[in-house]
Amino acid sequence: MPAAFVLGTRPEIIKLYPVIAQYLSRALPFRIIHTNQHYSPELDRVFFEQLKLPSPDINLGAGSGSQGEQLGRMLPALEQALRQVNPSVVYVQGDTNSVLAGALMASRAGLPVAHVEAGLRSYDLRMPEEYNRILADRLSTMLFAPTEGAKRILLDEGYDPATVHVTGNTVVDTLTALAAGGDQAGWPGERWGVERESYFLVTLHRPENVDDPVVLERILGAIDEAAARATIKNLLPLHPRTRSRMDSFSIVPGPNTLLVEPVDYFSFVALQKNARLVITDSGGVQEESCVLGTPCVTVRESTERPETVEVGANVVTGTGYDQILAGVQRMSGAPGGWRNPFGDGRAGERIVKIVLETLAG
């Protein structure tokens, strides 16, 4: 019986890659079920190609829409897909709608659920991701916590210690593999005329930030002013959701912010590694920047990655204009050299070993 990997977004592809790679190297059977929650080539297909992953075996075509609309399309399609594959275990990763749908339909079918990156909490219930990660943990039979802090959260919530395993974060595995492969992206900044360490890299996509025109305009205004004070440019690869909201709100960023199309993963990692600073509302980007050694400013009210703050790699500012400027000023002078809190790059190996032992025993 094959394993099933249910995924649907860029972060899930990146973070399940090390687990899938273990199945490939061990010649173990598996199937990839893609919900197509992310469906643009820049946010989807190119990641399979660059990470040399096999194409999905099943595509569900969920596409965009509200959370209810997406789940309404995913759930019956997943039920049929899981019946077709009849897997020994279902892997899900993170906190997206795809994760919730995968964990729910697998548990309803009586299948073991392995949740990669379990135990993260922001304690901010305005975020749909918070509900998704809590529910996915509740539905899972094997919980793979990336850090001891995540494990403590799960134990404090009453989970059976025998089901909780600290493995490290699989993003370290992926970044380590990319580093071993050399500079595969070249220098992507050439296409926009930016040199290494001469820009702030910005990503924005959270609904609470981009769906409110007042909040979105305030964030864009603050980061543009921050770039002006530093006499550099912001480089902002536009997530489709953010582009749509900017167009519908008729919001135009200031002269120090360059809007560019989403980039492939190799290029994005190169941009992160060589930025003077990263400004983001993404959980995964907080982790990657921490591992890559680039200071980060998180424009949110909370983070489910507190380890990045604890080691001095990140500051959480909220979305206030002055708070963002203060955070940028503080992290622009960050000394660097912090400890990587996310493990040694062998999380995928540990996860597969535990899953195989659990299924056998």
Q: Is the dihedral of CA 39, 42, 43, 44 positive or negative?
A: positive
Contact partners, residue 138, CB within 8 Å, separation at least 6: none
Token digits of residue 191: 């296409």
Buried b (16+ CB within 10 A) or exposed e, 42-59: bbbbbbbebbebeebbbb
Residue type, 245: R
d(Cα 100, Cα 115) in Å, to the nearest integer?
A: 10
Q: Is 205 a known active-site residue?
A: yes
Q: In the Cβ-directed half-sphere of 180, how many Cα atoms lie within 13 Å?
A: 8
d(Cα 128, Cα 47) in Å, to the nearest integer?
A: 25
Partners of residue 192 on adjacent β-strands: none
Q: Which residue bears the tokens 């379990």?
A: 118
Token digits of residue 106: 């697998």
d(Cα 297, Cα 326) in Å, to the nearest integer?
A: 10
d(Cα 48, Cα 36) in Å, to the nearest integer?
A: 13
CA dihedral angle for residue 336, residue 340, residue 341, residue 343, rounded to 10 degrees:
170
d(Cα 354, Cα 149) in Å, to the nearest integer?
A: 20
d(Cα 331, Cα 295) in Å, to the nearest integer?
A: 6
Burial of 182 (C-beta count, 10 Å sphere; 0-12/13-18/19+) = exposed
Catalytic entry in 34, 165, 205, 239: 205
d(Cα 15, Cα 44) in Å, to the nearest integer?
A: 13
Q: Which residues are catalytic?
A: 205
